[in-house]
Amino acid sequence: MDIMLILQIIVLFGGIYLGVKLGGMGIGYAGGLGVIILTVFLGMKPGSIPWDVILIIASVISAITAMQVAGGLDYLVQIAERILRNNPKYINYLAPIVTYLLTIFAGTGHTAFSVLPVITEVAKGQNIKPSAPLALAVVSSQVAITASPISAAFVAMTGVCEPLGVSYPILLLICIVTTFAAVILTAFIVNMVYDLDLSKDPVYQDRLAKGMVKEIVVEEQKELLPYAKRSVVIFGIGVLFVVAYALAISDSVKLIDPVRLGRDGAIISFMLTIGAAIVMFCKVDTSKLLGTSTFQSGMNACICVLGIAWLGTTFVSGYIDPIKSVASEVVTKYPYLLAVALYFLSCLLYSQAATTKIMMPAVALAMGMTSPENSGQIWILVASFAAVSGLFVLPTYPTVLGAIAMDDTGTTRVGKYVFNHSFIIPGTIMVAIAVALGFIIAPMLI
């Protein structure tokens, strides 16, 4: 290993570390700084900017923003709240299912923010440590990204797999079945193994004695805006059209041939059209769009992916040949190591889409997969896909921080050693189960 490679590795991980320390869009800023150092000072060629991922995130967020201003997100939250409050004993199962479905529908895990306070209150009312359902809900919302047909990560994975013979419906089926089963099984394990008795938690008792725990107050649901339900219907129909079009142009169906509008372009244009329809038919005040929490979180995600994914692709493209030789040998002999690598890389890159965009094409190319004829081991990539959901490993991701802040009982917390936080065990179990199921199901269906 020469000195130049050592310096480039230091810049790569230094940029990631700096981004994590800065937080928020600082991740993207640090990535841009890293690109400058790698290219201008250390002689590397700049990698490709993941425009497709960025534009898909931006277009999906634009449609969800319109739905939020129209009151659609409030309507979805009311439905979720009703489900959770009407079945409080099953909070450990329903909380992750609700956030999973919201993420599948919206294509972003940030929708989980809206139901975290409800989960906390319902758990407290049942004398259940909120840390259990909160951790399950947050991780479930992250894993669901890999099964959402409109998420940038899933679209990026489709772009890798379909040219290699994995059809869109098969990929979607595998991802939904493995991740949803992992959510249910992890909830069962937590429910059976964890000590869920809130009254026995010493931190809770201490905070209760100091008056730091709020009384449970069930707030009246606020009145919905006139077109809230209509906006949800429009968005839902739009998502169905996206899935239907993706199926219609897939190689296994080919209802539309020749394909003039590819899948990436279709998602972007459909989402913008959905936004236009919501604005027109739900009388949305467009001056309010830029100030929404959804738009701000989406813009944050775009900048993060722009910087950190560009940094990653710059480094990977510079060493693609050595990566090929190592990956082809290691992944072929020990396929599960790909999932391990994706798990740890995703927690550094802070994005399922960025991890997928950087790693999956490189690994496919490294293993000699250039066409369906030589892609016999593509199932390894599909089976490992859920492992890009390790965003919870570092307790600095927005939904993780949100859950910690909203749990006034103190049971959802970060331990002395940082990594021993409330999300690490349920999250790792959920990802491991999803990957294990993938290794069983993927080779059977592909």
Give the pLDDT means over successive 10-residue stretches in the chain (446 positions): 88 86 85 95 90 90 95 92 91 96 90 88 92 96 95 93 92 97 98 92 88 72 88 95 92 85 92 97 95 88 86 85 75 88 84 87 85 87 96 84 88 81 95 97 93
Residues 57 and 41 placed together within one structural domain of the fold: no
Residues 366 and 428 placed together within one structural domain of the fold: yes
Q: Work out how many domains the chain is built from and give that number.
A: 2
d(CA 366, CA 133): 40
Predicted local confidence at residue 72, as pLDDT = 95
Residues 116 and 206 placed together within one structural domain of the fold: yes
Predicted local confidence at residue 435, as pLDDT = 97
Residues 120 and 38 placed together within one structural domain of the fold: no
Predicted local confidence at residue 221, as pLDDT = 67
Name the CA dihedral angle for 276, 280, 282, 288, rounded to a multiple of 10 degrees.
70
Beta bridge mates, 197: 128
**Distance between alpha carbon 2 and the CA centroid of its chain, in Å?**
36
Residues 125 and 26 placed together within one structural domain of the fold: no
d(CA 223, CA 246): 37
Closest by CA position to 377, among listed 330, 415, 428: 330
d(CA 295, CA 110): 11
Residues 5 and 62 placed together within one structural domain of the fold: no
Residues 349 and 242 placed together within one structural domain of the fold: yes
SS3 label, residue 128 = strand
Predicted local confidence at residue 330, as pLDDT = 82
Predicted local confidence at residue 99, as pLDDT = 96
Predicted local confidence at residue 219, as pLDDT = 60
- Whether the CB-CB separation of 156 and 356 falls below 8 Å is answered with yes
Predicted local confidence at residue 369, as pLDDT = 87
- Sign of the torsion formed by the C-alpha atoms of 133, 418, 199 and 218: negative
Residues 222 and 246 placed together within one structural domain of the fold: yes
DSSP per residue over 279-304, as a string? HHHTT--GGGGGGSHHHHHHHHHHHH
Residues 41 and 52 placed together within one structural domain of the fold: no
Residues 25 and 88 placed together within one structural domain of the fold: no
d(CA 431, CA 178): 10
Distances (CA, A) of 151 to 124, 159, 227, 438: 33, 13, 25, 19
Question: Could you list the residue range(s) of the whole structural domain that residue 28 is in?
Answer: 1-46
Span between the terminal Cα atoms of the chain, in Å: 39
pTM of structure: 0.88
Closest by CA position to 57, among listed 268, 245, 243, 273: 268
The H or E element that residue 441 is part of is: helix 424-445
Residues 301 and 334 placed together within one structural domain of the fold: yes
| Side-chain half-sphere exposure of 167, counting CA atoms within 13 A | 13
Residues 361 and 379 placed together within one structural domain of the fold: yes
The amino acid occupying position 98 is: V
d(CA 302, CA 436): 31
Predicted local confidence at residue 220, as pLDDT = 64
- Whether the CB-CB separation of 292 and 108 falls below 8 Å is answered with no
Q: Which of 30, 46, 62 is the last residue of a domain?
A: 46
